[in-house]
Amino acid sequence: MNRAEPLSLLPLELEGVAFRHRGQTLLHPLDLRLERNGKTLIMGPNGAGKSLLMRICHGLLAPTAGTVRWCGGATPDTIRRRQAMVFQRPVLLRRSALANVRHALGAQGVPRRERARRADEAIEQFGLQAIAHRPARVLSGGEQQRLALARAWALRPEILFMDEPTAALDPAAIRAVEEAVDTFHHNGTCIVMSTHDLGQARRLADDVIFLVNGTLVERSPVQQFFEAPRSAQAAAFVRGDLVW
Amino acid sequence: MRRSGPRALFAAIALAITGAVQAGDSITLASTTSTEASGLFDHIVPKFREATGIHVRVVAVGTGQAFEIGRRGDADVLLVHDTAAEEAFVSDGYAAERRHVMSNDFVLVGPADDPADVAGADSALDAFRRIADGEHPFTSRGDDSGTHRAERNLWHDAGIQPRGRWYRELGSGMGGTLNTAAAMDAYTYADRATWTAFGNRQNLTLLFDGDDVMFNQYGSLLLDGDRHPHVKHDKARQWHEWLLSDQGQEAIASFRLRGQQLFFPNDATPPEP
Amino acid sequence: MDNAFQAAFRLIAERDPVLVEIVTLSLQVSLTAVLIASAIALPLGAAIALWQFPGRGLLIVILNAFMGLPPVVAGLMVYLMLSRAGPLGELGLLFTPTAMVIAQVVLILPIVAALSRQVIEELWGEYREQLQSLGVSRLGAIPTLLWDARFSLTTVVLAGFGRASAEVGAVLIVGGNISGVTRVMTTSIALETNRGNLPLALGLGIILLVLVATVNAVAYMVGESARRRLG
């Protein structure tokens, strides 16, 4: 991946970001900084606000308080084009695998000829050539998630958000996703990913963000998080106890 | 020519669909269902076209609605059968001219076993009284058509106000009314042309006709060109006059259905003053 | 019934020229109406599905209510518009096939708009985050949503075609059932019923049914083969 744009979006800074919905605080005010080329895993029990935090970072939801600031004063359009998100259940359009990738490139204004080249390259990168012309909606869960990754890959994002991308997959497919995370990372993409899987976090993370009940409890480098967590709640979570 | 967006669109659609019909060479005639259903126009319109090159587009509705179409200027000429209303139409200034064109008569039809014995009546009014006295089912058009008006006049002259379960006002065309009468073995008052052409008689039969009060006069009304400048007055007048010409009257007289002459030319009738 | 089938087969076997003319006009009018109504109603349905605006709920209720608009009322409205005494009278469109197309558009536009609104809104619920993530605006999402909902929307459009080709009240009023000009299948059936030619009327009804079924079958088969290819 050769990025021509001189300015980087990163680091991403959240200041006092909070989210309330119908009188309920779903995310308490928090500060957060995401660096270039990091691999940050967001952990925490169900309902902790992991997905919410990622959607706010990605720009799908606007925080009800605080600011989300990208570096370099990029235009909203540039910000949008330099990031991508992969959801727990991939949303694929009712067309072929290849056409899904092309559609995403078209949506971001990539010229038609380059679209075809980049789509082919992404399909190949994720070993999807054999099923490129199959309808995306009839692919297996693992294939669908790989296609979602290929689609994200084609967009050459500077930062990739992944919301529990392996939660519904079998071990072989999980392995493929983790390899993809490495591939993205080696190409300079910053990874922000949520997971329930402690082993996965150990394998992939540089650092861990730990959320409980909409509160950022702890952020630590991965080794410290697992071996000497600073909070009692994180310690309990790592032990496998219930946390709320 | 003023032409806003939607108008241009309509015009384009019109061109796309109506290409085959040259509106310029045609006139619109609003007439009654009785004349249309009998097939009269299929017989005389081609003859008129041969003579003049003008196509007549027939919109067949009840006489009441035909007057309304005329009042709004949506037809060029009318052929209807309600003399009193036609005269009013002229005096109200909607029509420039009115002529008697042709006539036939109404008939009283009913179930073949004739429970009211109208076949034995000595007049139309007597026949109507017999039906009302026995409260035998009677279906009325109830649609303010020429036939309906003629029927109501007969009840009035017989001194009867028809009401009750036996008297059914349908709000339907002549054919629909005959269909209903056939289905419920009811009496009904029909124009002879529709009755002759009607194919679903079942148990219905002609029981009484021939009384002078059952006379059915058709008139041609030429719309007023000053009131409706867009009407094709000249072409409509050609039709209006052709109907009364030897050729037109001959065409009407030569129309046969099931071997029967259904319309009788009026050439003896002098033009209205 | 037997007579009706005989009448239908006889008309078809003889390729009755009047019948051919009537069938052609019926298809022309109804297909044109469906085309125009869909061109307006599909984007309209999508827009209502995607945007929140004041009066949106009311608009949806009105559209749903107009799905049940009696054809005679639609016909009367168009008649009063196109009549010489009406606002569009000078166009001289009354008693022409164009007037019938307009009346049918009025009839089926609410159906196509209301049903496509429902279909698109459902799909938008599914696609929304992904499309937003890709930086697609709401306006930009419309072509994607229309294309991806194409199988459901085909059914919606066919429902509109069914209503257009089956109704008689509206085209009778604005078309006038003029022989050779505005006489279509349904008005012919009404006329033959009035003439008491019930077998012929029913025979025409059978032919109309076969026609509508054929159009539906073709659309179904095209849709199924595409569905198999694209999922």
Residue spans per domain, chain A? 12-239
Architecture of domain B105-214: 3-Layer(aba) Sandwich (3.40)
> What tens digit of pLDDT does each residue of A211-228 get?
999 999 999 999 999 999
C224 in contact with A, Cβ within 8 Å:
no
Q: What pLDDT is attached to residue B33? A: 83
What DSSP assignment string belongs to A82-141? TEEEE-SS----SSBHHHHHHHHHHHTT--HHHHHHHHHHHHHHTT-GGGTTSBGGGS-H
Tell me yes or no: is domain B5-104+217-265 CATH 3.40.190.10.
Answer: yes
Whether residue B5 is predicted with pLDDT greater than 60 in this model: the reply is: no
Distances (CA, A) of A43 to A92, A168, A189: 26, 17, 20
Q: What is the CA radius of gyration of chain A?
A: 18
> What tens digit of pLDDT does each residue of B153-162 get?
999 999 999 9
Whether residue A115 is predicted with pLDDT greater than 90 in this model: the reply is: yes
How far apart (Å, rounded) are the C-alpha atoms in residues A57 and A69?
9
Is B58 in Cβ contact with C179 (below 8 Å)?
yes
How far apart (Å, rounded) are the C-alpha atoms in residues A171 and B80?
86
Percent of chain A exceeding pLDDT 90 equals 80
Amino acid at B86: E
Q: What pLDDT is attached to residue B9? A: 55
How far apart (Å, rounded) are the C-alpha atoms in residues B165 and C43?
53
Categorize the per-residue pLDDT at B1 as very low, low, confident or very high, splitting at 50, 70 and 90.
very low
Across the range B22-30, mean pLDDT stands at: 79
* Partners of C142 in the β-ladder: none
pLDDT < 50 regions, chain C: none
Residues in chain B: 273
Whether residue B51 is predicted with pLDDT greater than 90 in this model: the reply is: yes
Whether residue B44 is predicted with pLDDT greater than 50 in this model: the reply is: yes
How far apart (Å, rounded) are the C-alpha atoms in residues B25 and A11?
79
Whether residue B7 is predicted with pLDDT greater than 70 in this model: the reply is: no
Give the least confident one: A44-48, A114-118, B56-60, C1-5. C1-5
Whether residue B130 is predicted with pLDDT greater than 50 in this model: the reply is: yes
Superfamily, domain A12-239: P-loop containing nucleotide triphosphate hydrolases (3.40.50.300)
Is B72 in Cβ contact with C85 (below 8 Å)?
yes
Supply the mean pLDDT for chain B. Answer: 88
Element (H, E) at A66: strand A65-70
Is B17 in Cβ contact with C29 (below 8 Å)?
yes
One CATH from 1.10.10.10, 3.30.930.10, 3.40.50.720, 1.10.3720.10 for C27-182+190-197: 1.10.3720.10
Q: How far is C216 from chain A (nearest CA, A)?
A: 23
How far apart (Å, rounded) are the C-alpha atoms in residues A47 and A27?
10
Residues in chain A: 244
Is B42 in Cβ contact with C198 (below 8 Å)?
no
Whether residue A3 is predicted with pLDDT greater than 70 in this model: the reply is: no
Whether residue A2 is predicted with pLDDT greater than 60 in this model: the reply is: no
Whether residue B14 is predicted with pLDDT greater than 70 in this model: the reply is: no
Q: What pLDDT is attached to residue C16? A: 83
Whether residue B261 is predicted with pLDDT greater than 50 in this model: the reply is: yes
Question: Which among C133, C229, C230 is the nearest to A85, CB-wise?
Answer: C133
Question: Which among C28, C83, C193 is the nearest to B175, CB-wise?
Answer: C193
Q: What pLDDT is attached to residue A79? A: 85
* Partners of B187 in the β-ladder: B138
> Which chain C residue's Cα is nearest to B194?
C195
- Provide the residue ranges of all domains of chain B, joining segments of one domain with +: 5-104+217-265, 105-214
> Which chain B residue's Cα is nearest to C25?
B17
